[in-house]
Amino acid sequence: MFKQKTTEQIKAATRKTESGSHAFYNNPKYRAVIYQTLLIAGLAYFFYTIIGNTLGNLEAAGIKSGFGFLGNAAGYDVLMSLIPFESTDSYLRVFIVGFLNTILVSILGIVLATLLGFIFGVMYFSRNWLIKKVSVVYVETFRNIPLLLQILFWYSAVLATLPGVRDSLSLGEAIFLNVRGLFIPKLVGQDGSTLVYVAIAIAIVAIFVMKSWAKKRQDETGQQFPLLYASLGIFFGLPLLATLVAGIPFVVDYPVLQGFGFRGGITVIPELMALTIALSVYTGAFIAEAVRAGIQAVPHGQTEAARSIGLKEGKIMSLIIVPQAMRVIVPLLNSEYQSLVKNSTLAAAIAYPDLFNVFVGTALNQTGQAIETIFMAIIVYFAVNMFISFVMNRFNRNVELVGR
Amino acid sequence: MIKISSLMAGGLAVGLTLGAQAATLDDVKKRGVLSCGVSTGLAGFSQKDEKGNWSGLDVDVCRAVAAAVLGDASKVQYKPLTAKERFTALQSGEIDMLSRNTTWTHTRDTSLGLNFAGTIYYDGTGFMVSKSLGVKSAKELDGANACIQAGTSTELAISDYFRENNIKYKPVTFDTSDQTRSGFESGRCDFLTSDQSQLYALRIGLKNPSGAVVLPEVISKEPLGPVVRQGDDQWFNIVKWSLNAMIEGEEQGVTSANAADKAKNGKPGNKRLLGTEGELGKNLGLNSDWALQVIKQVGNYSESFERNVGSGSQLKISRGLNALWKDGGILYSPAMR
């Protein structure tokens, strides 16, 4: 009796399920849409509550909120700015000044780190014992010391021990190096300097045209063209010619010791130098390892084959090995570049006025609006790194193995 | 960097966890220890010796509050904070009060959700230059580099001053005051600018203190005082009146040595202050001997001043503005009755 009833129940249940399986919410197509909608609605509610809660709590605690402060005058000065900046300018402008300084140190760091990384990465494969060991020592030293320590080392132990302003190291009384930084002459364009800028642009275009022409010729006839020398010749020759034609339309603005320091010329502050050196040397060590990994990923047979057709060692590297190694190197480079940008926030440890220092540091403190400033900084670093990712992924597609 | 991450965490914590700020007094009593934000090290105001003991004028405010609330001035947990971190730490509830040479400004008082509980030291922005420069006035500093601490009111004061006088400077802004000093020493900047009291403190730390001079100009008002969160009036009152008890103690001639005696045999005013008469302690939610403990354990304002920044210290700062109102200064406690 009992057993019978159970069977009945099971049957009933089965019937229910069967009829249920035809319901629209069990249809895989609709089900997916429903769950996704629910998830999005849930997330939206989550953020809505969090934001509402935050604003409510801030108000309850008497803390000002909102982005209105961005229009107010900042009231403080910034050490270095790529655009004109005065203390009467707004917090928004401080934000831009800091952003540009972050971008500047990032670009310098990425270029130098890549150079260092490729040089030391390739040096590892040298047959010369000394050169190989130099590469190993470089990588092992700078990869294993915390970056913050390296920044402080360059800033406090190296650059801060340079001579004072009045005892500057000087090169031909034109370039000066002291504890305040590096002072170099600046070329100031006069009337007619436009011609020179045009010449530079033409030279760059000409080099690209020449490159594709040389490649085409080599493909057709097998004849090689001394591309490097020709490029250098055009790049320097053409603007030089234009300068002479225009009657040298430049004056040199030399740094001159006056009052408390040097005026005129270009000043490279020691904070920028220390941060750039530390970031590029540190990241360069990682890139060197990436380059080594990439090169080692190319089968040795490639080298042997290249040797057997009589290519020189240098050519083997540049024509056979590196292009194939790039497949491995580029994705690694992507993350190294992103790390470099994020690591640039360590500028706060020395006085380099990057976004983190002037905005998240001083602006946050002067306005007290922690959430807004940190939110803006997060968005910036996120966006910059997304951009790097985008560019590197495009580049990656170019070096990827083409499937046939 | 720990500092940065704590700043971030603090920023988020302010928004997310800061609900209704319940009674800080109950929290402190339950914990049995007062959490007090101080500087990362500033001679005379808040500094740590080799044994890890904190001392200074700002530290004495923490100790006074601990004595009033817990009856024991040593029950303080000190949180060293940079100028950049200090307000976030207080807003997020990481500390119960901030006593870190902090200038009382309108913006800070009204837009940060904080309250200033009084003034422990009347200060002003000044300049320290190397003697060898031969500078006599700040107006001669056109084109000079300045070492400043980031996130301070000094950053604003100096910008105003140079604009008003139509001269230029380059600010090198460091995170801690120690860094500003080493920047000044290495020659990175021509002058160091900060609150004058700090300049004297930093000057002592130089390798060659006599090689630097503090210029006579004082270019701004910088009243320094303890800060608490807005919205907890009882706690605000406790900090405010602990500070006033020290000032009132000096005015009445009550010292750490004679406080116990004055409580028994003193004038009616002494007895009211020290809790043998009246209900001042009860009104604050404290024991009746709250002020007695403050003065007995920490001392009155004069004792604390002389010990930390005055004649009994290396700084040798004279009372100046910080003398009592009847001695030519502007120090004044509201009536203790």
pLDDT digit string, tens, across residues A347-366? 988 989 999 989 988 898 88
The 8-class DSSP code of residue A401 comes to P
Q: Assign A403 a pLDDT band (cuts: 50, 70, 90).
A: low
Rounded Cα distance between B151 and A366, Å, is 6
pLDDT at position A225 = 82
Strand partners, B229: B114
pLDDT average, residue stretch A38-47: 95
Higher pLDDT, B117 or A30: B117
Which neighbouring-strand residues pair with A261?
Answer: A258
A 286-325 residues with CB below 8 A of B? none
**Which of B14, B113, B171 lies at the smallest CB-CB distance from A79?**
B171
CB A148 within 8 A of CB A347: no
Name chain B contacts of A349, Cβ cutoff 8 Å. Answer: 1, 175
Q: What is the pLDDT of residue B4?
A: 46
Interchain proximity B113–A58, CB inside 8 Å: yes
Report the half-sphere exposure of A176 (CA within 13 A, side-chain side). 27
**Coil, strand or helix: which one is A179?**
coil
Q: Is B88's CB within 8 Å of A370's CB? A: yes
* Average pLDDT of span B88-102: 93
Look at A281-290, A367-376, B67-76 and tell me which has the smallest mean pLDDT. A367-376
* Cβ partners under 8 Å of residue B266, min gap 6: B254, B274
C-alpha B165/C-alpha B155 separation (Å) is 16
- Looking at 3.40.50.2300, 3.40.50.10190, 3.40.190.10, 1.20.1250.20, the CATH number of the domain B125-220 comes to 3.40.190.10
Tell me the nearest-neighbour CA distance from B196 into chain A, angstroms. 19
User: Rg for chain A (alpha carbons), in Å?
Assistant: 30
Please indicate if any CB of chain A lies within 8 Å of the CB of B169: yes
Contact call for residues A226 and A287 (beta carbons, < 8 A) = no
Give domain B2-122+224-327's CATH number out of 3.40.1350.10, 3.20.20.120, 3.40.190.10, 3.30.360.10.
3.40.190.10
Counting DSSP H helices and E strands in chain B, the numbers are: 14, 14
At B191-206, the pLDDT tens digits run 999 999 889 889 988 9
Residue A17 confidence (pLDDT): 52
A84 touches B: beta carbon within 8 Å: no
Structure tokens at A174: 């034109």
- Interface ipTM above 0.90: no
Answer yes or no: same fold for B2-122+224-327 and B125-220. Answer: yes
Alpha helices (runs of H) in B32-85, residue ranges in sequence order: 57-70
Helix (H, G, I), strand (E, B) or coil at B231: coil
Burial class (CB in 10 A: 0-12, 13-18, 19+), A356: buried
Q: Which residue of A has its CA nearest to B10?
A: A370
pLDDT value at residue B67 = 97
Q: Identify the weakest region by mean pLDDT among A140-149, A361-370, B221-230, B299-308.
A: A361-370
pLDDT average, residue stretch A8-23 = 57
The type of residue at A285 is A
The first and second tokens of residue A358, run together, are: 């002037």
Q: Which two tokens stand for residue A67?
A: 């982005």
Q: Return the structure tokens found at A39.
A: 């998830």
Three-state secondary-structure class, residue B123: strand
Confidence (pLDDT) at B29: 95
Q: Give burial (CB, 10 Å; 0-12/13-18/19+) of A252.
A: exposed
Using the predicted structure, report yes or no on whether residue A104 has a pLDDT greater than 90: yes
Phi then psi for B317, rounded to 5 degrees?
Answer: -80, 135
pTM for the whole structure = 0.82
Confidence of residue B3 (pLDDT cuts 50, 70, 90): very low
Which of A189-193, B185-189, B303-307 has the weakest average pLDDT?
A189-193
For the segment B287-309, the average pLDDT, to the nearest whole number, is 96
Whether residue B7 lies within 8 A of chain A, CB to CB, comes out as yes
Q: Domain A91-155+270-399 - what CATH class?
A: mainly alpha
Selecting from B10, B21, B141 the residue whose C-beta is nearest the C-beta of A61 gives B21
What average pLDDT does this structure show over A376-389? 95
DSSP B130: E
Q: Enumerate the residues of chain B whose CB falls inside 8 A of the CB of residue A76.
A: 155-156, 159, 171
| Mean pLDDT score of chain B | 90
Out of A90-94, A169-173, B89-93, B258-262, least confident range: A169-173
The closest CB to that of B112, out of A50, A54, A63, belongs to: A63
Look up residue B59 and give its two tokens. 């530290």
Say how far residue A332 (Cα) sits from the centre of its chain.
13
Residue of chain B minimizing CA distance to A147: B1
All structural domains of chain B with their residue ranges: 2-122+224-327, 125-220
* Residue B300 · residue B120 · CB < 8 Å: no
Of A152-166, A347-361, B244-258, the range with the highest mean pLDDT is B244-258
Q: What is the per-residue pLDDT across A283-295, written as a single tens digit (0 to 9) for each?
A: 999 999 999 999 9
B positions 65-84 inside 8 Å of A (CB): 83-84
Instruction: Note the pLDDT of residue A338.
Output: 95
Cα separation of B197 and B332, whole Å?
20
Q: List the beta strands (DSSP E) in A35-192.
A: 169-171, 175-178, 181-184, 186-189
Domain-wise residue ranges, chain A: 28-63, 91-155+270-399
Residue A65 Cα, gap to closest chain B Cα (Å): 9
